[in-house]
Amino acid sequence: MLGFADEVWWSRLAQPALHAWAEDKPLRLHEMTRPKEDLEPKAIACYGMLRPDTQEVRIRFVDGRPVSHVTTAFLQWVCEQLKAEGKKALLLVWDNASWHRSQEVRGWIGAHNRHAKASGGVRIIVCQLPIKSPWLNRLEPHWVHAKRAIVEPHRLLSKIELVDRICSYFNCKYAEHLQQVIAKKVA
């Protein structure tokens, strides 16, 4: 199966560029301000994968930032879903983000492929896009359209509302957030 993967940040404050027809005056979107008592994050990160065969976008939110160990957790989740569908391999197209090229991710993919070959799982074949070429990733326009579709011009969305709107837009079931593990300093 061919899959285009990418990560995106969904801001609760920044508004997307939006063009709209209006009878009286044009709709102007302005960046929101967060009240001091609002403790929710300004933005949330999300991994996604577009299946060109079905135009389905599978998404998984992240508590924290996209980093290597979260990337491997996302890939594991995708492979489990594809295995349930009877798929044998994933041709994964993604950009050159540092967490995609990291030693941890490359090592995990190698070990995963060895295990998948031995046990009949889904192997991953990575196809990295050239540097600074986001237009080659077919998932990018989906992010842009989704940001415009879920916008709320008159009030600040909560994290839960934002997640709900994103899942509704992509017509997907919510899956528990992936967790970024932060190493604790040893004194």
Amino acid symbol at 125: I
Beta carbons within 8 Å of 149's beta carbon, 6+ residues apart: 169
pTM of this prediction?
0.86
Give pLDDT, residue 54: 93
CATH number of 2-17+35-179: 3.30.420.10
- Residue 155: what pLDDT? 85
**Strand residue runs (E) in the chain:** 2-11, 43-51, 56-63, 89-94, 123-128, 178-179
- What residue type is assigned to position 93 of the chain? V
Looking at residue 19, its pLDDT comes to 61
pLDDT digits (tens), the chain, 187 positions: 999 999 999 988 876 666 665 677 666 666 667 778 888 888 999 999 999 999 999 999 998 888 999 999 999 999 999 999 999 999 999 998 888 999 999 999 999 999 999 999 999 999 999 988 888 999 999 999 999 889 887 788 999 999 999 999 999 999 999 988 765 555 5
Residue whose tokens read 């993919």 = 109
Rounded to whole angstroms, the Cα distance separating 21 from 166 reads 24
Sorted by where each begins, the domain ranges of the chain are 2-17+35-179
pLDDT at 172: 93
Cα separation, 126 vs 78, whole angstroms: 14
